[in-house]
Amino acid sequence: MKAVSLVAAVLAATPMIGMAQSQPRLSCVKDVVYSQEFLARYPKAGAACRQVIMKDGQKWVRFDANVVKVSGRRVTADFIDKYGHSVGVLTVQASPDARVLMRGRKVRYSKLARGDRLSFWMPESRVGFYAAPGALHSTQLAVVDEKTGAMER
């Protein structure tokens, strides 16, 4: 009887597995439309895009960066393209209670160190960086320094 129940459960789950696998993978090139405001500020953003996912009905774009400096809650990060080449440096400031996920643990921004790798997320519908996709209801990371050429020409 247990074997029959197990077989029934596996057969019932098979269509769900197929549906999960059939969801289209979103592309940084074809599936993201950046706003004119965002592209004016960050013209090289397309090269820095690493992943696009759907979260809460919105497209979220992931950008990766290496931490180059930490000063309290201010973090200067070097955004990189898919080949690991720099596309610009940007400094953000997190709120006092903000945390980032590092190696499976939530860490304060002030505890980051040079060389740590971060992922920044941005919803397609607005300009702004967040620590996680779907985080519109949490504090946006404030960009405090763009003069270093963050993702500029």
State the number of CA atoms in the 13 A half-sphere of 152 facing the CB.
9
pLDDT value at position 14? 44
Q: What own/partner pairs with CB < 8 Å and gap ≥ 24 does 112-116 have?
A: 112/67, 112/70, 112/75, 113/67, 113/70, 114/67, 114/68, 114/69, 114/70, 115/66, 115/67, 116/66, 116/67
Q: What is the pTM of this model?
A: 0.76
Tens-digit pLDDT profile for the chain (153 aa)? 444 443 444 444 444 444 445 557 899 989 999 988 888 888 888 899 999 999 989 999 999 999 999 999 999 999 999 999 999 899 999 888 888 877 778 889 999 999 999 988 999 888 888 888 877 666 678 888 765 444 443
* Every domain of the chain and the residues it spans: 36-145
Provide the token pair at 116: 């740590």
